[in-house]
Structure 1
Amino acid sequence: MKLPQKYLVKITIPLLLATFCTAGFLYADGPKDNLPDQVRRIPSLGVEVPEKQRAQLEAGLAKLKSSLDQLKKAKDARIRFLIPDVEIYHRAVRCDLEFQEFFHEREIGAGLKLLEQGQERADQLLKGEAPWTKQTGLVVRGYISKIDQTVQPYGLVIPDSYTFSGKSQYRCDLWFHGRGERLSEVNFINQAQRSRGQYTPTDTIVLHPYGRYSNAFKFAGEVDVLEALESTKENYRIDDDRIAVRGFSMGGAACWQFAVHYADRWFAANPGAGFSETPLFLDVFQNEELKPTWYEKKLWQLYDCPGYALNLFQCPTVAYSGEIDKQKQAADVMEGALAKVGIDMVHIIGPDTAHRIHPDSKVIIEQKMDSLARVGRERVPRTIHLVTYTLKYNRMDWVTMDAMGEEWTQGRIDARLPGGNRVEVKTRNVTAFTLKMAPGEAPLDMTHPVTVKVDGTELKASRPLSDRSWQVSFHITDAGWQVGPAQYPEGQLVKKHNLQGPIDDAFMDSFIFVSPSGKCASPTVEKWVQSEMKHAIVHWRQQFRGDARVMKDSQITDKEIAASNLVLWGDPQSNAILKKIADKLPIEWKQDAIVVGDKQYAADHHAPVLIFPNPLNPEKYVVLNSGFTYREYAYLNNARQVPMLPDWAIIDLRTPAGSQYPGKVVDASFFDEFWRLK
């Protein structure tokens, strides 16, 4: 039965916006935030802490740190596993005190209270007890992130019906919070311990990820969601077939992104307000005239959702908007994008409603979400559509796109199981793919080979195995599609999942800033390198709430090379690691010039930034002279928080670094699918 596209409901009672952030943390963007040369600080500096309270905070921090040091010496693996649940309190208060991020006097009191709670947990854990792990209601927990080894918090609502000794699995809804420029860790934890949020469905665990502050759950914020979900699964019995993504305002934007990028993971998506792409939203919401470079427009496709709309074929979607909310634009754009691929979007609209969720709309939304939860996620869909612009998001159920003809041009795979031992696949801008079904999931006859028809060519593939699993890869050659994974000459670099760029991708996994032991050949370059490295360290903490690990080039060992992306600062003269690999990079240093293909740039006032497979370990990246690539101007509006540089760029240092770029970008581009200059 075809669902009606819109539900317009009458208002019955007023409802205050109950996003996970309180109203005091929310800020509206406006025309003043369209001036790159007049950028306000985000987050703003907080209040000065009176000496008496500072002394109390410092004493509490010292005591809690002493307890944490004791816990870290414990031989009991369970105790060590639970240390992040204690450490979140220490880090939250330490950062607010050290970086002046108590934004109101009352937050100082909240910080003192959090230290008491952290100390209580520490004392309990030192006795081998952890009562919060058996607690229902509001619970805050933590995990250690793979990205920078910092502890990150997340909030949970554990239903009273949850049985800690049972075997039954529970539905889990992820709720993405709204924009909060003052959403420090102290404020997040404090809120998570006081507010259940917008929705608390029956018999459902609600996960409130922090998302590393206010970045629309992009980049490291995106990884935070996935890591927090995995941590929740480690601690609670989650039904993988009944996980949903939901959010409002900035959280609605995050919901759209997670829905289209990871459509096969959720039983449903419920985005509200927010934004679903960059250019149209900034035009409508900010009245901003954009003048992007050609590569910036391509990079919008990382998080712009309309081009991925067909992926929602796999993810039932219930969108919400207030009728007079300017952010209704987000769902309107997606409704149009879905219509173009033949999908009629359910769009529930609260009449005469601005930026909030109408109470009657909530009833309708919950009815639909509960119904979808009863059905659950489809494990082995008979029809799959996968569209992507990057191998970062290359999987949909039993279909994986292994290689593309050209990154940042839409690639597409349509696969279906028509019956019998047949699979039909159609591709566009794809050069290799894999079909993989887990044990017990292959609906195919294991006594006969499988016929796979790829773009009209019939190929014989292997039979399913005795455990009802099945996997086969295909690659294209000059002679057409062939069975088997693509074969490359030894040492040939190829773009692949999580090794496809752009520069920002390096900061979605473990990374280390590698500082130079020496001085750059040019004093101008040396000054810029030191300034940009400091900028990257400071802004990583401010915007992604972590501590960037920094090591000297002389300290890097095989251990770091094997485990982390290395961000090398300097030039071959100043940085020993860069000197070791310089002749294996596609950009060349000469005495007076930096050479990129047939172009040369004066080495005394130019610097390269790039991302490339590390020649010392091609399964990890090496990055030159860059942190994440969007800067202060983008902090003012989450829709601007997109990659600003592609795989490589040359920076003219005669133009000072500003709120948008690290200097004047005189050349920039992507490497091809084999990591070669185009």
Structure 2
Amino acid sequence: MKRKNAFVFFILACGLSALSQSVSAQKRLSAAEARQEERVQVDKWMGDVRNGYGAMWRAGVFTLDSLRMPFMYKVFGEKPSDGRSLYISMHGGGSAPTEVNDQQWRNQIVLYAPKEGVYVAPRAPFDDWNMWFRPQMDAFFQQLIAAAVAEMGVSPDKVYLLGYSAGGDGVWRMAPRLADRWAAASMMAGHPGEASQLNLRNVPYMIWMGENDGAYNRNRLAVEKGAVMDSLQAADPEGYVHETHIISGKGHWMERVDTAAIAWMAKYRRNAVPERVVWRQEETVRPSMYWLKVDASEARPGMQIVANRKGNRIIVERCDYPSFTLCLNDDVADLDKPVIVEYNGRRLLKKRVRRSADIIARSLCERQDPRLVFSAELEVKMPD
């Protein structure tokens, strides 16, 4: 197979390898057998990641087609028993000469220092205003996170996103777009553009802005977005944990007051299978979010699914698609019992699902996340 795209090539290779190693892939598994199969598949995936991305990690640069994303990192503290933390810290600059963005990158590696964790400052693959949220950044971040998990012992439930200025622009976009990857996120001095905050229901989120940072109305928009988060949390008190900090007397440079965000984020861990999922497609559409999956060919920006799980009941509040797929494991529901799906007070289905090794392998290869592994799937067709 010709290596045209490193990211896609690795996904395909992982899938073929995992399925070829699986014994009786179509067999109905018990809960214990599914857990064991998951451990086998994750161990194999870790080896594949080391083989696929380990050299990139050691060289300090990830590649995707002709694009390159160099990075620097520092390691702080001792490795905890539940794995290291990972902080992805995006630099400022944007639509500027290469040397300006290079200088901003070199500065980013010294801006923040967690007590524990792997602190990574990637260099954006582009010199443009939208350098941190072009479509290719999903694959780059997935490479980075997978490599850090395999090479550095990072816990996938302790991955944090932050960025300053143009990097803050990236946080506004990428925190919602990849919401199921983050334990928490913090935006420093960035412009939100048209980004929505709906997907941040399960991502603790900070907004940091200088009171006098008036360029492009950043200060006014930060206040407005903080009010949006207030409103979302008021309507859904168990979600949308957030803080908004408008720093009195400060402009675009907040003189490091925002470093308090590191300790705040570190208090949180990702919930990989939250009881409530609010998923809105952003400008770059995705096929999955937490325990939900859709046909990517049908996805358009702005389309939404809102769903809750209560025991074995899945309650759909909104679905803009003709159908979607529930990604299930025994953390989502008791798969020894039927799964019930309801919408507008109407039961859409009640069905027993089958745990299988092929779905475990496929979900791991699709998600590239050892904590987002599912053993069963259930397609749900929505009423007309």
Structure 1 length as normaliser, TM-score?
Answer: 0.41
Moved more, 335-344 or 322-331: 335-344
Unpaired runs of 5+ residues, structure 2, are 1-49, 358-373
AA partner of residue 355 (structure 1): H
Q: Residues 209 and 228 of structure 1 are in contact (CA less than 8 Å); yes or no, is this contact kept in structure 2?
A: no
CA deviation profile, 1:623-650 (whole Å, cap 9, x unmatched):
xxxxxxxxxxxxxxxxxxxxxxxxxxxx
Residue 305 (1) aligns with residue 195 (2): yes
- Please state how far the C-alpha of 1:199 moved relative to its aligned partner: 1.1
Matched, 1:462 2:348: no
Contact 2:201 2:241 in 1 (8 A): no
Q: Which has the higher contact order (CA 8 A, sep 6+)?
A: 2
The residue number in structure 2 matching 1:542 is none
2:250 corresponding residue in structure 1 = 353
Equivalent residue in structure 2 for 1:159, among 52, 60, 76: 76
Q: CA deviation at 1:329?
A: 3.3
CA distance in structure 2 between the aligned counterparts of 1:276 and 1:246, rounded to whole angstroms: 14
* Distance across 2 between alignment mates of 1:338 and 1:152: 32
2:203 counterpart of 1:315: yes
Q: Structure 1 residues 390, 430: closer, same or farther in 2, change over 3 A?
A: farther
The aligned residue for residue 219 of structure 2 is 328
> Are residues 1:369 and 2:265 paired?
yes
Structure 1 residues 453 and 249: CA distance shift in structure 2, 3 A: same
In structure 1, C-alpha distance between the alignment counterparts of 2:297 and 2:313, rounded to whole Å: 24
Distance 1:437 1:391, change over 3 A: farther
Equivalent residue, structure 1, for 2:313: 422
Which of 267, 274, 279 is the aligned partner of 2:190? 274
Using a 3 Å threshold, how does the CA distance of structure 1 residues 334 and 200 change in structure 2: closer, same or farther? Answer: same
After superposition, residues 223-234 of structure 1 pair within 5 angstroms as 223-234=139-150
RMSD over aligned CA atoms reads 3.3
Deviation at 1:455, TM superposition (A): 3.8
The match for 2:305 among 403, 413, 423 is: 413
Aligned partner letter, 1:454: Y
Task: Provide the C-alpha distance between the structure 2 equivalents of 1:401 and 1:80, rounded to a whole number of angstroms.
Answer: 28
Pair 391,156 (structure 1): closer, same or farther in 2 beyond 3 Å: closer
**Aligned AA (2:307):** A
The corresponding residue for 1:452 is: 341
Q: Distance in 2 between matches of 1:251 and 1:401?
A: 29
Aligned counterparts of 2:286 and 2:51: Cα–Cα separation in 1: 36
Do 1:403 and 1:433's aligned partners in 2 also have CA atoms closer than 8 Å? no
Match runs of 1:556-567 below 5 Å = none
Q: Which of 327, 334, 337 is residue 436 of structure 1 equivalent to?
A: 327
Q: 1:473 to 1:182 in 2, by over 3 A?
A: same
- Mapped contact 2:179–2:203 kept (Cα < 8 A): yes
Question: How do 1:376-395 residues align onto structure 2 when only pairs under 5 Å count?
Answer: 376-388=269-281, 392-395=285-288
What is the deviation of 1:151? 4.6
Match of 1:214 in 2: 127
- State how far apart, in whole Å, the 2-side matches of 1:320 and 1:185 are: 23
Q: What residue is the counterpart of 1:170 in the other structure?
A: 84
2:43 — aligned with what? none
Is the CA contact 2:287–2:294 (under 8 Å) kept in the aligned structure 1?
Answer: yes
Aligned CA distance change for structure 1 residues 377 and 464 (closer, same or farther; 3 Å): farther
Q: Deviations over 1:643-673 (max 9, x none)?
A: xxxxxxxxxxxxxxxxxxxxxxxxxxxxxxx
* Closer, same or farther: CA 256–81 of 1 in aligned 2, 3 Å: closer
8 Å CA contact 2:72–2:109 kept in 1: the answer is no
TM-score (norm 2): 0.69
| Residue identity in the other structure for 2:200 | L
How far off its partner does 1:429 sit? 2.2
Q: Structure 1's 428 and 203: CA in aligned 2 closer, same or farther, altered over 3 A?
A: same
Evaluate the alpha carbon distance shift between residue 318 and residue 425 of structure 1 in structure 2; reply closer, same or farther with a 3 A threshold.
same
Asked if structure 2 preserves the Cα contact closer than 8 Å seen for 1:450 and 1:462, the reply is yes
Separation in 1 of the partners of 2:226 and 2:345?
A: 32
Give the corresponding residue for 2:6: none
3-state SS of 2:251 partner: coil
Q: Name the structure 1 match of 2:28.
A: none
Q: Is the 8 A contact 1:391 1:404 kept in 2?
A: no
Q: Aligned partner of 1:448: which letter?
A: K
Output one character per residue of 1:497-546: Cα deviation in whole Å (capped at 9) or x when no partner. xxxxxxxxxxxxxxxxxxxxxxxxxxxxxxxxxxxxxxxxxxxxxxxxxx
User: Structure 1 CA distance, aligned partners of 2:298 and 2:108?
Assistant: 48
Counterpart AA for 1:371: K
Work out the CA distance in 2 between the residues paired with 1:399 and 1:450: 14
How far apart, in 1, do the equivalents of 2:295 and 2:324 lie?
5
- Quick one: which of 106, 109, 127 aligns to 1:196? 109
CA distance in 2, matches of 1:428, 1:389: 15
Compare CA radii of gyration and give the structure with the larger one: 1
AA partner of residue 119 (structure 2)? V
SS in 2 for 1:231: helix
Indicate which of 163, 167, 175 corresponds to 1:259: 175
The secondary structure found in structure 2 opposite 1:430 is: coil
CA contact (8 A) 1:211 1:224 kept: no
Deviations 1:321-369 (A, max 9, x none): 1111122234224224334533574101221011123444433x23422
Q: Please state if 1:249 is matched with 2:165.
A: yes
Distance change (3 Å), C-alpha of 1:394 and 1:330: farther
- Opposite residue 159 of structure 1, the aligned amino acid is F
Segments of 5+ residues of structure 1 without an aligned counterpart are 1-77, 86-132, 134-139, 278-303, 482-678
How many angstroms does 1:406 deviate by?
7.6
Q: 1:214 to 1:437 in 2, by over 3 A?
A: farther
The question of whether the paired residues in 1 share the 8 Å contact of 2:205 and 2:241 is answered with no
